[in-house]
Amino acid sequence: MMARERLRIAVQKSGRLSESCFDLLERCGLRFRRSRDGLFCYGEGEPVDLLLVRDDDIPGLIGQGVCDLGIVGRNVLEEYAAGVGATALRSLRDLGFGRCRLAIAIPREADYGGPGSLAGLRIATSYPNLLRDWLRRQSVAAAVVTLAGSVEIAPRLGTADAICDLVQSGATLLANQLREVDCVLDSEAALVGPVSLPVDERGDAIEWLLRRVDGVTRVRGSRLLLLQAARDCVDAIIAALPGAPSPTVLQMDGRPGEVMVQALCADELGWRQLEAIQRAGARELFVLPVERALA
Ligand code: PRT
Ligand code: ZN
């Protein structure tokens, strides 16, 4: 087989992760032309293509070497790893979106005094490997009922006594009269790759892609604050900056006693925070989005 020169990344075709995946890759300087059947995205400019698939298939595609990297929830990666035993895959970067938890939930009115309360019960889940591992670690013997979907209705149907499913806001549990009682795994989307990265053009591409991903995720949500003030006010202004960044204070040319302050703030900077900074003596406040960073 001829060695592939272009990097191939597996991403979810349509689902909760898709939009954030494309947004991240675009911020990393990648642009794509989508194939007619919508399954392949050809990279324009950089030698990086995408394969659009169901998220469940992503670890397997990397494991088989069909794709070099993938973007997938840690829940899917870990379920795959728990299923095949020792795995040659690993998370290269947490990406900060798709946050959720794989949790145990029971009928609202049922008692719970810790994992031991699950002994002898039937627990419905789409994550049988992760659930079995967790039960083993808790030394609890319970029956695992594997369902492909609609896990949350199993207790009402009488096919299970409890569930182990992904939870984000908790609204689905609430609507099904269930309550969350334990967490099996905290999850978010991750950039996943093989344990040993290729040492060729694709390895080089992975290296710069990781640097760009870091440059994007490091400053996500950050804002650059610029303002002017009398030098006397600087201490009060700095005290009012959220997240205590260490700002740069610059002398303004031809205006003694006047300074410009610039600070990288990790948070969004709401109106109330800006108004407090203004009351501390700041004038001409500018809040700028930060797109990317290179260390
Ligand atoms: O078709 P394909 O197989 O690709 O998609 P899918 O339906 O399997 O996955 P999708 O798009 O629903 O989710 C993709 C990934 O998003 C998951 O693997 C998680 O890593 C992540 N994620 C984040 C979530 C949720 N939040 C989430 N809330 N995945 C699913 N849910 C579901 C959950 O299963 C439950 O039914 O949403 C419901 C709970 O949400 P709340 O807000 O009511 O608690
Ligand atoms: Zn899926």
Q: Cα(235)–Cα(270) distance, rounded to whole angstroms?
A: 21
Question: From the CB of 155, is ligand 1 less than 6 Å away?
Answer: no
Task: State what percent of residues in the chain have pLDDT above 90.
Answer: 84
Mean pLDDT for all residues in the chain:
94
**pLDDT in the model for residue 244:** 65
Q: How far is the CA of 213 from the centre of ligand 1 (A)?
A: 23
Q: Cα(252)–Cα(138) distance, rounded to whole angstroms?
A: 63
Cβ(33)–Cβ(47) below 8 Å: no
Whether residue 129 has pLDDT greater than 60? yes
CB half-sphere exposure, 185, CA atoms < 13 A: 24
Q: How far is the CA of 54 from the centre of ligand 2 (A)?
A: 6
List the residue whose alpha carbon is closest to atom 22 of ligand 1. Answer: 98
Whether residue 226 has pLDDT greater than 80? yes
Give the residues across from 48 on adjacent strands. 7
**pLDDT in the model for residue 117:** 98
Q: Cα(37)–Cα(111) distance, rounded to whole angstroms?
A: 51
Question: From the CB of 6, is ligand 1 less than 6 Å away?
Answer: no
Phi, psi of 211, deg, nearest 5: -65, -40
Please report which ligand is nearest the Cα atom of 75.
1
Please count the other Cβ atoms lying within 10 Å of the Cβ belonging to residue 267: 12
Please state the pTM of the whole predicted model: 0.89
Q: How far is the CA of 82 from the centre of ligand 1 (A)?
A: 19
Neighbours of ion ligand 2 (CB under 5 A): 55-56
Tokens of 232: 């006397």
Q: Cα(61)–Cα(51) distance, rounded to whole angstroms?
A: 10
Ligand 1 pocket, mutate which of 11, 56, 168 (most atoms under 8 A from CB)? 168
Q: Cα(272)–Cα(251) distance, rounded to whole angstroms?
A: 27
Helix, strand or coil for residue 207? helix
Whether residue 2 has pLDDT greater than 70? no
Match 């990406």 to its residue by tokens: 95
Residue 252 is given by DSSP the state: P
Question: From the CB of 170, is ligand 1 less than 6 Å away?
Answer: yes
Question: From the CB of 187, is ligand 1 less than 6 Å away?
Answer: yes
Task: Note the pLDDT tens digit of each residue in 83-117.
Answer: 987 778 999 999 999 999 999 999 999 999 999 99
Q: Which domains does the chain have, with CATH numbers?
A: 7-97+189-217 (3.40.190.10), 100-187 (3.40.190.10), 223-289 (3.30.70.120)
Q: Cα(125)–Cα(150) distance, rounded to whole angstroms?
A: 9
List the residue whose alpha carbon is closest to atom 34 of ligand 1. Answer: 166
